[in-house]
A and B are shown apart, each in its own frame.
Chain A
Amino acid sequence: MRKTTALIFGHNKYAQEIVTNLQDSYTKIKVYTMDENDLGEGAYELESFDLSDEWQLIEKDVDINSSIAFCVLEDTSKNIFLTISLRAAFKELSIIAVSSNNESANKLKMAGANKVIPLVETTSDIIANMLEKPISNKVLHSILYEESALKIAQIRISNESKFKDEKLKSIDWTRYNGIIVLSVMHENMKSEFIYSSKAKRHIIKEGDVLVIVGYERDIQEFEKLIRSERYVNWSNWSW
């Protein structure tokens, strides 16, 4: 199901950045704060919550199935408690949590977060990449954050796709009509690099997802050609 509502728990700089980046793609963004003094502040509507809450109020207010939650409390222990509370209350809710380091990232995953962003490790990875591989870092950054016309997309193989039931090996995916196919994700939800031994033996099935890089026009042509389209499968999204 398409996600239309973003629930952000925590009123801080992370929340502000998330709101800035998501406001164009989400119809409803709700920011929750634990500090009642914050209410009425800022450029967006704030609501209060506390960790002992029963969550029914939130459930009444938004459709949980079409929502995605961001746990960005700065206090690690409270953030973990919030995540486990949300998971206990809503089994199907997609939860993304921010952690300060790998240790708390593991705890957040155990608490039920679908995806954890370890801030220190992510920042240090980016710094190391900037220093070590400045060109590739710049290119990947521009592809990922769409700072250039080059885009990365995920295409779901449909039932009518011309590649359905074909062997991956039999197609030269690397330079296909202006796009480059990087990897394929099949039913076990693990993405495989296009040249890996597993991927080569794989027979394309309906539901497989191809990760491709290319210009928008070429991606659209590719979608038409293989009779498949861009897709995000949220129901099975978990790492």
Chain B
Amino acid sequence: MRFRDTIGLVLTLKASLVTDLPLSDILQKTALFSGLEPAALQAVQLAAHTCQSAAGSYFFLQGDPAERVFLLTRGRVKLTQMNPDGSQVLLRAVGPGTLFGAVALAQGELYPVSAESAEDSGGVYWGAASLQELVLRHPQMALNAMSLMAERVQEFQQRFRELATERVERRLARALLRLASQTGRKVAEGVLIDLPLTRQDLAEMTGTTLFTVSRILNQWETRGLVTLGRERVIVRFPHGLVAVAEDLLPPQTSQP
């Protein structure tokens, strides 16, 4: 496990479904920039460059020098890491309003993950040097970055504990819930995980086999917890999945 390398790299904004807003609005809602004076925000905006990435192409590759910090404004990005045996592991899914490649804020690092566009995506980026300069001028950004990194460390600690101690069902339920809260979109049937997601991706995220993932997902589909499509998962009954993830007791009152 190479958790050390991945901790704190991706800084997420909580309400991550902003899109099609003016850049200044998006920046204002991005946790890294929260609490900045309007003048500082304007400096941040002036230093930003826009970029596009077609579905299937990469913002950066694992092992590239980390020279840019990205903020996704449109689309979906998968952050993956290559195992020594050549297999790819999906570490995180990123939706609009989320920073990635933030390792570039530290000097002389390499990107520990690859950032692949799961669909046509767009965003802005900052050169590492210019963002570092902004951080030095506006210490609030350093504090923001620290709290975001602490959040990320906690997420990975939790995932590590899950892998070490929990049954596969709970791990898979938690992985789906995490993806749903990161990229979920409310649709008529439930919450669509808005990301091309294979059974293999889920197996890698939960440290199990494709066969096991398929078996559990099919059981859940029969129980009405999820609806499965080709590379698509809809969480039909979020509470049911939470109950699996958290080992909740059934509600005490009987349902009508």
Q: Do A and B come from one complex?
A: no
A: residues with CB less than 8 A from B are none
Q: Using CB atoms and an 8 Å cutoff, list the residues of chain B in contact with chain A.
A: none
